Amino acid sequence: MTASPIKPRTYLISVASGCEQKVCSVLPERAKALHVSDKIKSVQAPQHPKTTKRKDGTTVTRQEFVFPGYVFAELQLEPEVSDAVLSTPHVLGFVGNRPSIKGRHTNPTPLKQKELDKIFKPRSKAERVTTDHYSEGDFVSINSGPFNGYEAEVLAVLGQKLRLTLDIFGRTTTVEVETNTVTHRQ
């Protein structure tokens, strides 16, 4: 009797800062060399465009990582796949690691589909103009940018920016966003 194949799930992998693209290109090659390429479906580091204004007045648009220092990998997590991922240069480890019952291999927590939908959902380019007033303790929904779709609590109002606390991958995180990217939660 053969064991049923493990269903591919998406995991978050911590990588050295600035090495996201390198890991995305090296990991599939490494998997092929270690004969586990059929178990790694995709490796990606989502990006979004960011426009900045230079001192000379020109604007520059460049791609910025949505989650710097992390890549997403859809894979069948088996011991040999885990070894291939963890032995890849610039990979620091899986996020959501739990102690293993079977020995040295890791048991990371896969991402939920709801979390993936928020991250990979297309962003709208329309920027809203808001006249809402916010105060500490207000609950808001983020409508654009890398945290689109998340709900958060206002920690501080900083002029045209808000310092918010939100839950990402089961961890409380503090972020700063423009006031025109949020609305009061109904």
Average pLDDT for residues 98-112, to the nearest whole number? 67
Q: Which domain holds residue 81?
A: 9-120
Average pLDDT for residues 94-102, to the nearest whole number? 67
Same structural domain for residues 58 and 146?
A: no
The structure tokens listed for 33 are 């060399």
Cα separation, 119 vs 48, in Å, equals 11
Q: Is residue 1 assigned to a domain?
A: no
The CATH code of the domain that includes 168 is: 2.30.30.30
**Tally of domains in the chain:** 2
Same structural domain for residues 58 and 98?
A: yes
Same structural domain for residues 83 and 144?
A: no
Same structural domain for residues 63 and 28?
A: yes
Q: Is residue 39 assigned to a domain?
A: yes
Q: Is residue 4 assigned to a domain?
A: no
Q: Are strands 59-65 and 47-53 parallel, antiparallel or unpaired?
A: antiparallel
Same structural domain for residues 111 and 24?
A: yes
Q: Which helix (H) or strand (E) segment is 94 a member of?
A: strand 91-94
pLDDT, tens only, 16-73: 989 999 999 999 999 999 999 899 999 999 887 877 777 787 888 888 888 889 999 9
pLDDT, tens only, 118-161: 777 765 544 433 345 788 888 999 988 888 888 999 998 887 88
Domain-terminating residue out of 67, 85, 120: 120
Q: Is residue 40 assigned to a domain?
A: yes
Q: Using H for helix, E for strand and C for coil, what is the string for 70-122?
A: EEEEEECCCHHHHHHHHCCCCEEEECCCCCCCCCCCCCCCCCCHHHHHHHHCC
Q: For residue 106, what is the DSSP state?
A: -
pLDDT at res. 130: 39
pLDDT at res. 20: 93
Please state at what angle helix 79-86 crosses helix 20-33, rounded to 10 degrees: 140
Same structural domain for residues 179 and 145?
A: yes
Same structural domain for residues 75 and 151?
A: no
